[in-house]
Amino acid sequence: MKDRPWSLPFAAGALALAACATNPYTERSQFLLVSESQEMQMGAQAYEQVLHDPKVKISHDAREVEPVKRVAARIIEAAKHSKYAETAQQFDWEVSVIKDDKTMNAFALPGGKIAVYTGIFPVAKNEAGLAAIMGHEVTHALARHGAERMSQGMAAQLAVGLATLGAASQGIDPQIAQLAGGALAQYGFILPFSRTHESEADHIGLLLAAQAGYDPHEAVHVWERMEQVSKGQPPEFLSTHPGHGTRIKQLEEWMPEALKYYSPRAGTPAADLPALAPR
Under the banding of pLDDT at 50, 70 and 90, the label for residue 17 is: very low
Q: Are 157 and 148 in contact (CB under 8 A)?
A: no
Using alpha carbons, list the distances in angstroms from residue 245 to 220, 234, 239, 256. Answer: 10, 13, 14, 19
Let me know if 137 is a catalytic residue: yes
Which tens digit of pLDDT belongs to each residue from 140-170?
999 998 888 877 766 666 655 554 455 445 5
Going from the N-terminus, what domains does the chain have, and what CATH number goes with each?
A: 8-261 (3.40.390)
Q: What are phi and psi of 2, to 5 degrees?
A: -70, 155
Q: Report, as an integer, the average pLDDT of 89-99.
A: 97
Confidence at residue 169, expressed as pLDDT on a 0 to 100 scale: 53
Identified catalytic residue from 64, 127, 137, 148: 137
Contacts of 29 (CB under 8 A, 6+ apart): 20, 21, 22
Give me the chain's average pLDDT, please: 82
What is the DSSP-derived secondary structure letter of residue 2? -
| Percentage of the chain modeled with pLDDT above 90 | 54
Q: Are 112 and 91 in contact (CB under 8 A)?
A: yes
Which tens digit of pLDDT belongs to each residue from 193-218?
588 899 999 999 999 999 999 999 99
Contacts of 151 (CB under 8 A, 6+ apart): 14, 18, 31, 32, 33, 34
Is the pTM above the cut of 0.85? no
Using alpha carbons, list the distances in angstroms from residue 138 to 133, 135, 153. Answer: 9, 5, 22
Q: Are 164 and 174 in contact (CB under 8 A)?
A: yes
Least reliable range by pLDDT among 89-93, 178-182, 267-271: 178-182
Q: Are 20 and 14 in contact (CB under 8 A)?
A: no
Confidence at residue 193, expressed as pLDDT on a 0 to 100 scale: 56
Q: What are phi and psi of 48, to 5 degrees?
A: -65, -40
Q: Report, as an integer, the average pLDDT of 95-109.
A: 95
Least reliable range by pLDDT among 19-23, 142-146, 194-198, 257-261: 19-23
Confidence at residue 213, expressed as pLDDT on a 0 to 100 scale: 94
Which tens digit of pLDDT belongs to each residue from 35-56?
888 888 888 999 999 999 999 9
User: Which has more confidence, 251 or 5?
Assistant: 251
Confidence check: pLDDT of 125 > 90: yes
Confidence at residue 170, expressed as pLDDT on a 0 to 100 scale: 53
Under the banding of pLDDT at 50, 70 and 90, the label for residue 268 is: low
CA distance 216 to 136: 12
CA angle 217, 28, 187 (to 5 degrees): 90
Helix axes 8-16, 145-169, angle to 10 degrees: 120
Confidence at residue 183, expressed as pLDDT on a 0 to 100 scale: 53
